[in-house]
Amino acid sequence: MKVEILEFVDGARNAQGVTVIIDVFRAFSVACYAFDSGAVRLIATSEVAEAFQLKKRYKNSVLVGERDEKKIEGFDFGNSPTEIIKVDLSGKTVIHTTTAGTQGLINAINADAILTGSLVNASAIVRYIKSINPDYVSLVAMGYRAINSAEEDLLCAEIIAAELKNKRFNAEARIADLQNTSGKRFFYPVNIDFSPSTDFFLCTMINKFDFVLKATRRFDGNVDLMKIDV
């Protein structure tokens, strides 16, 4: 099994084989918490206008997402796990758009199969990939706003890569250190309304969930996420 680590939208476009699109802060942590809160479906889209159109099509749905980290005007929730864990999404379709993570899903056009990646289900991702034993795995760290490398996404990629090769990886110290690097923005008082410190801790609860989220491209160019227990 060959494992390659890529970055950003270009990395998603160039990804081959089984592809994991990683967005720890916060898109694919939010997606996991949404399914854990009872959502039955998640539709990822790259455009805000498309998200509103999907909301009209799916009556029992909610809009979740951000631009510039903040909740989009007219959306039900921001891209915040702190918000998501407070609501009952039972039976709901979540329509999700973000600056980085969902862009990666849409642009992974050459992948054989696509999973979302986050720390909260990293080991489940490893187990799933091992169960299908592909020849090639692409780990795409989407980064901050899909333009700057992000320590949390690269760390998640390193953890998955190591575990796929049956190597031990002690992640605790490096996860804690994220508070001093890419995660420090969650502790700025000015961001508390849309990126609270609780988001940091919810996104770094490694291996909280025993499921993966597998992406399927839709007829309309958007992406469905399906929960698969592992």
| Full pLDDT tens readout for the chain, 230 residues | 999 999 999 999 999 999 999 999 999 999 999 999 999 999 999 999 999 999 999 999 999 999 999 999 999 999 999 999 999 999 999 999 999 999 999 999 999 999 999 999 999 999 999 999 999 999 999 999 999 999 999 999 999 999 999 998 889 999 999 999 999 999 999 999 999 999 999 999 999 999 999 999 999 999 999 999 99
Query: Which pLDDT belongs to residue 170?
Result: 87
Query: Which pLDDT belongs to residue 168?
Result: 86
**Cα–Cα distance, 204 to 151 (Å, whole number):** 12
Query: Which pLDDT belongs to residue 169?
Result: 86
In 130-172, the DSSP E strands lie at 136-141
> Would you say residue 227 lies in a domain?
no
> Would you say residue 225 lies in a domain?
no
> Would you say residue 228 lies in a domain?
no
> Would you say residue 141 lies in a domain?
yes
Distances in whole angstroms, Cα of residue 105 to Cα of each of 20, 48, 174, 217: 9, 15, 26, 9
> Would you say residue 133 lies in a domain?
yes
> Would you say residue 168 lies in a domain?
yes
**Cα–Cα distance, 155 to 159 (Å, whole number):** 6
**Cα–Cα distance, 63 to 44 (Å, whole number):** 10
CATH of the domain at 11: 3.90.1560.10
Angle (CA) 109 67 177, round 5°? 85
> Would you say residue 226 lies in a domain?
no
Domain extent, residue 158, equals 2-220
> Would you say residue 153 lies in a domain?
yes
Q: How many domains does the chain have?
A: 1
